[in-house]
Amino acid sequence: MKDTKAETFLRFDNVKKSYDQENLVVKGFDMHVQEGEFITLLGPSGSGKTTVLMMLAGFESVTSGDIAINGRSINKTAPNKRNIGMVFQNYALFPHMTVAENLAYPLTVRKMPKAQIKERVAEYLALVELSAFGDRRPGQLSGGQRQRVALARAMIFQPTLILMDEPLGALDKNLREQMQFEITRLHKQIGFTVIYVTHDQTEALSMSDRIAVFNDGVVQQCAPPAELYERPVNAFVAEFIGENNFVRGKVTQIEGETAKVETDTGTITTQTSEGLTEGAQCRVSIRPEKLFIHPTTHAHDNALTATFITRIYVGDFIRYYFRLPDGTDIIVKVLNDLSAPEFEDGATAQLLSLTKDCIAFAN
Ligand SMILES: Nc1ncnc2c1ncn2[C@@H]1O[C@H](COP(=O)(O)OP(=O)(O)OP(=O)(O)O)[C@@H](O)[C@H]1O
Protein backbone atom coordinates (compact mmCIF):
# COMPACT_ATOMS: atom_id res chain seq x y z
CA MET A 1 0.00 0.00 0.00
CA LYS A 2 1.23 3.50 -0.79
CA ASP A 3 2.05 5.48 2.35
CA THR A 4 1.20 9.08 1.44
CA LYS A 5 2.78 10.50 4.60
CA ALA A 6 6.20 9.15 3.75
CA GLU A 7 8.39 11.49 1.75
CA THR A 8 11.51 9.54 2.52
CA PHE A 9 12.91 7.75 -0.52
CA LEU A 10 14.05 4.62 1.29
CA ARG A 11 13.12 3.53 4.78
CA PHE A 12 13.99 0.66 7.03
CA ASP A 13 11.55 0.28 9.90
CA ASN A 14 12.55 -2.02 12.74
CA VAL A 15 14.08 -4.53 10.31
CA LYS A 16 15.23 -7.78 11.91
CA LYS A 17 16.92 -10.80 10.43
CA SER A 18 17.54 -14.29 11.72
CA TYR A 19 19.02 -17.02 9.53
CA ASP A 20 18.27 -19.81 12.03
CA GLN A 21 14.95 -18.68 13.60
CA GLU A 22 16.86 -18.23 16.84
CA ASN A 23 19.62 -15.62 16.74
CA LEU A 24 19.12 -12.15 15.32
CA VAL A 25 22.01 -10.92 13.17
CA VAL A 26 20.20 -7.62 12.45
CA LYS A 27 18.39 -6.44 15.56
CA GLY A 28 15.90 -3.73 14.65
CA PHE A 29 17.47 -1.61 11.92
CA ASP A 30 15.86 1.82 11.38
CA MET A 31 17.00 4.27 8.76
CA HIS A 32 15.48 6.95 6.55
CA VAL A 33 17.40 7.74 3.38
CA GLN A 34 16.74 10.75 1.15
CA GLU A 35 17.00 10.45 -2.62
CA GLY A 36 20.58 11.11 -3.79
CA GLU A 37 22.22 10.39 -0.42
CA PHE A 38 25.43 8.38 -0.17
CA ILE A 39 25.01 6.14 2.87
CA THR A 40 27.71 3.81 4.13
CA LEU A 41 27.18 0.83 6.40
CA LEU A 42 30.43 0.45 8.34
CA GLY A 43 31.35 -2.08 10.98
CA PRO A 44 33.48 -5.08 11.89
CA SER A 45 33.20 -8.41 10.11
CA GLY A 46 29.98 -10.23 10.92
CA SER A 47 28.15 -7.15 12.24
CA GLY A 48 25.26 -7.49 9.77
CA LYS A 49 26.08 -4.98 7.01
CA THR A 50 25.87 -7.36 4.06
CA THR A 51 22.70 -8.91 5.48
CA VAL A 52 21.02 -5.48 5.40
CA LEU A 53 22.15 -5.00 1.80
CA MET A 54 20.92 -8.47 0.78
CA MET A 55 17.49 -7.81 2.31
CA LEU A 56 17.32 -4.50 0.43
CA ALA A 57 18.31 -6.24 -2.82
CA GLY A 58 15.73 -8.96 -2.16
CA PHE A 59 18.20 -11.86 -2.01
CA GLU A 60 17.40 -12.46 1.66
CA SER A 61 13.97 -12.31 3.25
CA VAL A 62 13.15 -9.85 6.02
CA THR A 63 12.37 -11.74 9.25
CA SER A 64 10.30 -8.85 10.60
CA GLY A 65 9.93 -5.12 10.01
CA ASP A 66 9.59 -3.28 6.75
CA ILE A 67 11.70 -1.92 3.90
CA ALA A 68 9.95 0.67 1.74
CA ILE A 69 10.89 2.67 -1.35
CA ASN A 70 8.86 5.82 -1.99
CA GLY A 71 6.47 4.78 0.75
CA ARG A 72 5.76 1.35 -0.76
CA SER A 73 6.85 -1.81 1.04
CA ILE A 74 9.22 -3.92 -1.07
CA ASN A 75 9.39 -6.87 1.34
CA LYS A 76 7.51 -9.04 -1.13
CA THR A 77 8.83 -7.54 -4.38
CA ALA A 78 11.01 -9.90 -6.46
CA PRO A 79 14.68 -8.80 -6.71
CA ASN A 80 14.49 -8.13 -10.47
CA LYS A 81 11.46 -5.86 -9.97
CA ARG A 82 13.18 -3.59 -7.43
CA ASN A 83 15.12 -1.63 -10.05
CA ILE A 84 18.29 -1.65 -7.95
CA GLY A 85 21.83 -1.65 -9.40
CA MET A 86 24.55 -3.65 -7.66
CA VAL A 87 28.34 -3.70 -7.53
CA PHE A 88 30.30 -6.34 -5.63
CA GLN A 89 33.94 -6.92 -4.82
CA ASN A 90 34.37 -9.73 -7.34
CA TYR A 91 33.03 -7.74 -10.33
CA ALA A 92 30.61 -10.53 -11.40
CA LEU A 93 31.10 -9.61 -15.06
CA PHE A 94 30.26 -12.22 -17.70
CA PRO A 95 33.69 -13.48 -18.82
CA HIS A 96 32.55 -14.69 -22.26
CA MET A 97 31.02 -11.34 -23.22
CA THR A 98 32.87 -8.22 -24.32
CA VAL A 99 32.77 -5.09 -22.17
CA ALA A 100 30.12 -3.58 -24.46
CA GLU A 101 28.02 -6.77 -24.28
CA ASN A 102 28.31 -6.79 -20.51
CA LEU A 103 26.98 -3.23 -20.42
CA ALA A 104 24.22 -4.02 -22.91
CA TYR A 105 22.98 -7.00 -20.91
CA PRO A 106 20.81 -5.17 -18.30
CA LEU A 107 19.23 -3.18 -21.15
CA THR A 108 18.58 -6.24 -23.32
CA VAL A 109 16.75 -8.00 -20.48
CA ARG A 110 14.70 -4.82 -20.05
CA LYS A 111 13.85 -5.05 -23.77
CA MET A 112 15.29 -1.69 -24.78
CA PRO A 113 15.44 -1.19 -28.61
CA LYS A 114 18.83 -2.12 -30.14
CA ALA A 115 19.73 1.34 -31.48
CA GLN A 116 19.04 2.90 -28.09
CA ILE A 117 21.16 0.24 -26.35
CA LYS A 118 24.10 1.04 -28.62
CA GLU A 119 23.84 4.71 -27.81
CA ARG A 120 23.49 4.13 -24.06
CA VAL A 121 26.46 1.72 -23.98
CA ALA A 122 28.67 4.28 -25.75
CA GLU A 123 27.53 6.96 -23.29
CA TYR A 124 28.35 4.85 -20.21
CA LEU A 125 31.67 3.64 -21.61
CA ALA A 126 32.62 7.29 -21.98
CA LEU A 127 31.37 8.06 -18.48
CA VAL A 128 33.78 5.55 -16.94
CA GLU A 129 36.51 6.51 -19.42
CA LEU A 130 36.65 3.14 -21.18
CA SER A 131 35.47 4.13 -24.66
CA ALA A 132 38.43 2.36 -26.26
CA PHE A 133 37.79 -0.92 -24.41
CA GLY A 134 34.29 -1.90 -25.58
CA ASP A 135 35.52 -4.86 -27.62
CA ARG A 136 37.73 -6.40 -24.94
CA ARG A 137 36.70 -9.23 -22.66
CA PRO A 138 36.90 -8.73 -18.86
CA GLY A 139 39.95 -11.05 -18.73
CA GLN A 140 41.88 -8.54 -20.85
CA LEU A 141 41.34 -5.66 -18.39
CA SER A 142 43.11 -4.55 -15.22
CA GLY A 143 41.32 -4.88 -11.86
CA GLY A 144 40.49 -1.17 -11.80
CA GLN A 145 39.14 -1.24 -15.35
CA ARG A 146 37.00 -4.28 -14.58
CA GLN A 147 35.58 -2.53 -11.54
CA ARG A 148 34.72 0.49 -13.69
CA VAL A 149 32.86 -1.81 -16.10
CA ALA A 150 30.98 -3.27 -13.12
CA LEU A 151 30.09 0.25 -12.00
CA ALA A 152 28.90 1.23 -15.47
CA ARG A 153 26.84 -1.95 -15.70
CA ALA A 154 25.16 -1.17 -12.37
CA MET A 155 24.35 2.37 -13.51
CA ILE A 156 23.41 1.81 -17.12
CA PHE A 157 19.72 1.02 -16.64
CA GLN A 158 19.53 4.19 -14.54
CA PRO A 159 18.33 2.73 -11.28
CA THR A 160 17.57 5.24 -8.57
CA LEU A 161 19.34 3.09 -6.01
CA ILE A 162 22.77 1.43 -6.29
CA LEU A 163 24.12 -1.01 -3.71
CA MET A 164 27.84 -1.57 -3.38
CA ASP A 165 29.33 -4.29 -1.19
CA GLU A 166 33.07 -3.78 -0.59
CA PRO A 167 33.41 -2.86 -4.28
CA LEU A 168 37.05 -1.84 -3.91
CA GLY A 169 38.12 -4.64 -1.57
CA ALA A 170 40.23 -6.40 -4.20
CA LEU A 171 42.13 -3.33 -5.38
CA ASP A 172 45.49 -2.03 -4.14
CA LYS A 173 45.70 1.23 -2.19
CA ASN A 174 46.36 3.63 -5.07
CA LEU A 175 43.68 2.16 -7.29
CA ARG A 176 41.28 2.12 -4.37
CA GLU A 177 41.74 5.85 -3.81
CA GLN A 178 41.34 6.54 -7.52
CA MET A 179 38.12 4.50 -7.63
CA GLN A 180 36.78 6.19 -4.48
CA PHE A 181 37.17 9.48 -6.32
CA GLU A 182 35.56 7.97 -9.44
CA ILE A 183 32.53 6.67 -7.54
CA THR A 184 31.96 9.98 -5.75
CA ARG A 185 32.33 11.86 -9.05
CA LEU A 186 29.67 9.66 -10.73
CA HIS A 187 27.42 9.89 -7.68
CA LYS A 188 27.57 13.72 -7.78
CA GLN A 189 27.20 13.88 -11.55
CA ILE A 190 24.27 11.45 -11.89
CA GLY A 191 22.65 11.82 -8.49
CA PHE A 192 21.63 8.20 -7.74
CA THR A 193 21.27 7.02 -4.14
CA VAL A 194 24.04 4.76 -2.85
CA ILE A 195 24.07 2.23 -0.02
CA TYR A 196 27.71 1.25 0.36
CA VAL A 197 29.13 -1.48 2.59
CA THR A 198 32.71 -1.38 3.80
CA HIS A 199 34.80 -2.13 6.85
CA ASP A 200 37.35 0.49 5.81
CA GLN A 201 36.70 3.59 7.90
CA THR A 202 38.87 5.92 5.80
CA GLU A 203 36.85 4.97 2.74
CA ALA A 204 33.61 5.56 4.64
CA LEU A 205 34.75 8.95 5.97
CA SER A 206 35.92 10.23 2.60
CA MET A 207 32.92 9.16 0.50
CA SER A 208 29.71 9.27 2.52
CA ASP A 209 27.02 11.80 3.32
CA ARG A 210 26.13 9.67 6.37
CA ILE A 211 27.66 6.58 7.93
CA ALA A 212 25.79 3.97 9.98
CA VAL A 213 28.22 2.25 12.33
CA PHE A 214 27.19 -1.36 13.02
CA ASN A 215 28.20 -3.57 15.87
CA ASP A 216 26.68 -6.97 16.44
CA GLY A 217 23.56 -6.27 14.38
CA VAL A 218 22.85 -2.92 16.02
CA VAL A 219 23.52 0.56 14.60
CA GLN A 220 25.56 2.42 17.21
CA GLN A 221 25.38 5.80 15.49
CA CYS A 222 24.26 7.10 12.11
CA ALA A 223 25.67 10.53 11.31
CA PRO A 224 27.73 12.57 8.83
CA PRO A 225 31.47 11.77 8.87
CA ALA A 226 32.58 14.87 10.83
CA GLU A 227 29.96 14.31 13.52
CA LEU A 228 30.95 10.65 13.92
CA TYR A 229 34.59 11.62 14.25
CA GLU A 230 34.13 14.64 16.51
CA ARG A 231 31.13 13.51 18.58
CA PRO A 232 31.03 9.70 18.79
CA VAL A 233 28.13 8.62 21.02
CA ASN A 234 29.97 5.75 22.67
CA ALA A 235 33.39 4.20 23.12
CA PHE A 236 32.79 1.65 20.34
CA VAL A 237 32.27 4.37 17.72
CA ALA A 238 35.14 6.45 19.11
CA GLU A 239 37.44 3.45 18.82
CA PHE A 240 36.18 2.23 15.47
CA ILE A 241 36.37 5.59 13.65
CA GLY A 242 39.91 6.91 13.51
CA GLU A 243 42.64 6.56 16.08
CA ASN A 244 41.93 7.23 19.73
CA ASN A 245 43.49 7.33 23.18
CA PHE A 246 41.47 6.15 26.16
CA VAL A 247 42.39 7.42 29.62
CA ARG A 248 40.84 5.77 32.68
CA GLY A 249 39.43 7.92 35.44
CA LYS A 250 36.58 8.66 37.84
CA VAL A 251 33.80 11.16 37.25
CA THR A 252 33.89 13.63 40.15
CA GLN A 253 31.39 16.17 38.86
CA ILE A 254 28.92 16.60 36.02
CA GLU A 255 27.73 20.10 35.14
CA GLY A 256 25.56 20.47 32.07
CA GLU A 257 27.56 19.35 29.05
CA THR A 258 30.86 18.95 30.86
CA ALA A 259 32.30 16.56 33.43
CA LYS A 260 35.35 16.61 35.66
CA VAL A 261 37.35 13.40 35.53
CA GLU A 262 40.07 12.56 38.00
CA THR A 263 42.82 10.36 36.59
CA ASP A 264 45.98 9.00 38.24
CA THR A 265 47.91 11.83 36.74
CA GLY A 266 45.73 14.92 36.59
CA THR A 267 42.13 16.14 36.42
CA ILE A 268 40.57 16.82 33.03
CA THR A 269 37.37 18.59 32.13
CA THR A 270 35.60 16.70 29.36
CA GLN A 271 32.42 16.56 27.31
CA THR A 272 29.82 14.23 28.78
CA SER A 273 28.06 11.37 27.01
CA GLU A 274 24.94 9.32 27.66
CA GLY A 275 25.00 7.12 30.74
CA LEU A 276 27.78 8.98 32.53
CA THR A 277 27.23 9.28 36.29
CA GLU A 278 29.04 11.07 39.10
CA GLY A 279 31.26 8.79 41.16
CA ALA A 280 31.50 6.15 38.41
CA GLN A 281 34.59 4.97 36.54
CA CYS A 282 34.87 6.15 32.96
CA ARG A 283 37.14 6.30 29.94
CA VAL A 284 38.08 9.61 28.38
CA SER A 285 38.66 9.52 24.65
CA ILE A 286 41.14 11.99 23.12
CA ARG A 287 42.32 11.87 19.49
CA PRO A 288 46.13 11.76 19.01
CA GLU A 289 46.11 14.98 16.96
CA LYS A 290 44.20 16.84 19.70
CA LEU A 291 46.92 16.52 22.34
CA PHE A 292 49.66 19.12 22.77
CA ILE A 293 53.00 18.32 24.35
CA HIS A 294 54.33 20.74 26.95
CA PRO A 295 57.29 20.63 29.36
CA THR A 296 56.50 19.94 33.01
CA THR A 297 57.90 23.29 34.21
CA HIS A 298 54.49 24.98 34.59
CA ALA A 299 51.33 23.27 35.80
CA HIS A 300 48.54 23.50 33.20
CA ASP A 301 44.82 22.80 33.25
CA ASN A 302 43.60 19.67 31.49
CA ALA A 303 47.05 18.13 31.62
CA LEU A 304 48.15 14.52 31.93
CA THR A 305 51.71 13.96 33.11
CA ALA A 306 53.26 11.15 31.07
CA THR A 307 56.60 9.50 30.40
CA PHE A 308 58.14 9.68 26.95
CA ILE A 309 58.67 6.28 25.32
CA THR A 310 59.54 6.91 21.69
CA ARG A 311 59.13 9.23 18.72
CA ILE A 312 58.45 7.85 15.26
CA TYR A 313 58.99 9.77 12.06
CA VAL A 314 56.14 9.19 9.58
CA GLY A 315 56.80 11.98 7.08
CA ASP A 316 54.13 14.65 7.42
CA PHE A 317 53.57 13.78 11.11
CA ILE A 318 55.66 12.72 14.07
CA ARG A 319 54.04 10.07 16.28
CA TYR A 320 54.99 10.21 19.94
CA TYR A 321 54.38 7.35 22.34
CA PHE A 322 53.95 8.27 26.00
CA ARG A 323 52.96 6.16 29.00
CA LEU A 324 50.69 7.12 31.90
CA PRO A 325 51.48 5.95 35.47
CA ASP A 326 48.78 3.23 35.20
CA GLY A 327 50.56 1.78 32.14
CA THR A 328 48.20 3.18 29.49
CA ASP A 329 50.00 4.08 26.26
CA ILE A 330 49.13 7.45 24.75
CA ILE A 331 49.81 8.43 21.16
CA VAL A 332 50.29 12.06 20.19
CA LYS A 333 50.46 13.19 16.56
CA VAL A 334 52.34 16.40 15.90
CA LEU A 335 52.80 18.07 12.51
CA ASN A 336 56.34 17.59 11.33
CA ASP A 337 57.53 21.18 11.68
CA LEU A 338 59.85 23.06 14.01
CA SER A 339 57.40 22.65 16.92
CA ALA A 340 57.88 18.86 17.06
CA PRO A 341 60.00 18.45 20.22
CA GLU A 342 62.82 16.00 20.99
CA PHE A 343 62.92 14.06 24.29
CA GLU A 344 65.41 11.95 26.22
CA ASP A 345 64.31 8.40 27.07
CA GLY A 346 62.20 8.41 30.23
CA ALA A 347 61.64 12.20 30.25
CA THR A 348 58.29 13.45 31.47
CA ALA A 349 55.97 15.87 29.72
CA GLN A 350 52.49 17.29 30.09
CA LEU A 351 49.94 16.28 27.49
CA LEU A 352 47.37 19.06 27.22
CA SER A 353 43.93 18.91 25.65
CA LEU A 354 40.90 21.14 25.25
CA THR A 355 37.61 20.22 26.90
CA LYS A 356 35.86 20.22 23.52
CA ASP A 357 38.23 17.47 22.32
CA CYS A 358 37.78 15.11 25.30
CA ILE A 359 34.70 12.92 25.75
CA ALA A 360 34.08 10.81 28.84
CA PHE A 361 32.27 7.50 28.24
CA ALA A 362 30.68 5.34 30.91
CA ASN A 363 32.60 2.10 31.38
N1 LIG B 1 23.41 -17.11 4.57
C2 LIG B 1 23.68 -17.10 5.87
N3 LIG B 1 23.27 -18.11 6.67
C4 LIG B 1 23.54 -18.10 8.00
N5 LIG B 1 24.21 -17.13 8.63
C6 LIG B 1 24.63 -16.09 7.90
C7 LIG B 1 24.40 -16.03 6.47
N8 LIG B 1 24.96 -14.87 6.01
C9 LIG B 1 25.51 -14.25 7.08
N10 LIG B 1 25.33 -14.97 8.21
C11 LIG B 1 25.75 -14.59 9.58
O12 LIG B 1 25.13 -13.36 9.90
C13 LIG B 1 26.03 -12.51 10.60
C14 LIG B 1 26.15 -11.18 9.85
O15 LIG B 1 26.81 -11.43 8.62
P16 LIG B 1 27.01 -10.31 7.51
O17 LIG B 1 27.61 -10.96 6.31
O18 LIG B 1 25.76 -9.55 7.34
O19 LIG B 1 28.09 -9.39 8.22
P20 LIG B 1 29.01 -8.25 7.61
O21 LIG B 1 28.98 -7.15 8.61
O22 LIG B 1 28.62 -7.92 6.23
O23 LIG B 1 30.43 -8.94 7.63
P24 LIG B 1 31.65 -8.88 6.56
O25 LIG B 1 32.25 -7.49 6.67
O26 LIG B 1 32.58 -9.94 7.05
O27 LIG B 1 31.08 -9.16 5.21
C28 LIG B 1 27.34 -13.27 10.74
O29 LIG B 1 27.38 -13.84 12.02
C30 LIG B 1 27.25 -14.31 9.66
O31 LIG B 1 27.96 -15.46 10.03
| Confidence band, pLDDT 50/70/90 cuts, at residue 6 | very low
pLDDT tens-digit profile of 342-359? 888 889 999 999 999 999
pLDDT tens-digit profile of 130-164? 999 999 999 999 888 888 899 899 989 989 899 99
Using an 8 Å Cβ cutoff, are 103 and 131 in contact?
no
Query: Distance from the CA of 48 to the center of ligand 1, in angstroms?
Result: 6
Query: Distance from the CA of 351 to the center of ligand 1, in angstroms?
Result: 42
244-362: which CATH topology?
Answer: OB fold (Dihydrolipoamide Acetyltransferase, E2P) (2.40.50)
Mean pLDDT of 327-351: 89
Alpha-carbon distance of 164 to 2, in angstroms, equals 27
Longest alpha-carbon distance in the chain: 80
Identical fold, 10-230 and 244-362: no
> Which residues form the pocket of ligand 1, taking CB atoms under 6 Å from any ligand atom?
19, 25, 43, 45-51, 199
Q: Which atom of ligand 1 is nearest to the CA of 51?
A: 18
| pLDDT of 318 above 70 | yes
Using an 8 Å Cβ cutoff, are 225 and 253 in contact?
no
Residue 352, SS3 per DSSP:
strand
Nearest CA to ligand 1 atom 25: 45
Mean pLDDT of 318-335: 95
pLDDT tens-digit profile of 243-252? 999 999 999 9
| Confidence band, pLDDT 50/70/90 cuts, at residue 5 | very low
Q: What are phi and psi of 243, to 5 degrees?
A: -90, 150
Nearest CA to ligand 1 atom 20: 46
pLDDT tens-digit profile of 174-194? 888 888 998 998 899 889 999
| Domain limits, the chain | 10-230, 244-362
Query: Distance from the CA of 203 to the center of ligand 1, in angstroms?
Result: 21
> What DSSP designation does 176 have?
H
Q: What is the pLDDT of residue 343?
A: 87
Mean pLDDT of 22-31: 94
Alpha-carbon distance of 133 to 312, in angstroms, equals 46
Q: What is the pLDDT of residue 179?
A: 85
Q: Which CATH class name applies to 10-230? A: alpha beta
Q: What is the pLDDT of residue 91?
A: 62
* pTM (predicted TM-score): 0.88
Query: Distance from the CA of 201 to the center of ligand 1, in angstroms?
Result: 19
Query: Distance from the CA of 12 to the center of ligand 1, in angstroms?
Result: 19
Q: Which atom of ligand 1 is nearest to the CA of 53?
A: 18
| Confidence band, pLDDT 50/70/90 cuts, at residue 61 | very high
Query: Distance from the CA of 157 to the center of ligand 1, in angstroms?
Result: 29
Q: Which residues contact 171 (CB under 8 A, 6 or more apart)?
A: 143, 144, 147, 179
Nearest CA to ligand 1 atom 22: 50
Q: Which atom of ligand 1 is nearest to the CA of 217?
A: 14
What is the pLDDT of the chain when averaged over all its residues? 91
